[in-house]
Amino acid sequence: MGHAVFEWVIAIAVLVLFASNIIFLWRINETLKALMVNSQQMNERVNAMLNEAHGVLSDARGAIAALVGEARPVVRAIATTANELTDMVHRQALEVRGLLRDTVLILRNKVEQLDDLVTRTTERVDETTATIQRQILEPVREIHYLTTAIRRAAGVLFAGRRRSVDRAYHDEELFIG
């Protein structure tokens, strides 16, 4: 009876642990989805800013072409600055994309590590359960059987009167079963 209860308790504990791990992984998955949506929105905003910047720079280049004859040195300085700004915005957008990609990779790695941890923990719980079964419960059960046999033998040897063969002892019925 006690062995079955212990197995049920261990089984329920493992199920609770498994359920909590599934909930935790589900929450991580939801967080990753939200992060992916946010990164896509940020990417769209950065692309829109790049497109707007390219449009503004194109307009500026048209106006500058009209003034080139009068202020050639100023136009060259403005064109150089505009090109540097375009390159800087583009580099920043690439850095943001790289940062988002690295973040997603790190999160995936952490989820894989968490999965490995859950797997190792489950294996250790299984190993511990088997060890307890093998090294503690089996010897206790054997000692119980031995003490019951010794008690019964002593009862038979030291009993003042013998019972008839037709009557079974109550403890014997439990011991035999």
What is the reported pLDDT for 166? 53
CB 117 within 8 A of CB 103: no
Here the tokens at position 31 are 């967080």
Distance CA 22, CA 26 (A): 6
Mean pLDDT by 10 residues, the chain (177 residues): 83 92 92 90 88 82 69 74 85 86 88 88 89 84 91 82 55 52
Instruction: Give per-residue burial for 63-81: e unless 16+ CB within 10 Å, then b.
Output: ebeeeeeeeeeebeebbee
Evaluate if pTM is beyond 0.85.
Answer: no
- What does the pLDDT read at residue 177? 46
What is residue 100's predicted lDDT score, i.e. its pLDDT? 86
Dihedral in degrees, nearest 10, Cα atoms 153, 157, 163, 167:
10
Crossing angle between the packed helical segments 72-132 and 2-67, to the nearest 10 degrees: 170
Helix (H, G, I), strand (E, B) or coil at 63: helix
Quote the pLDDT of residue 81: 87
Cα distance between residue 69 and residue 172, in whole Å? 118
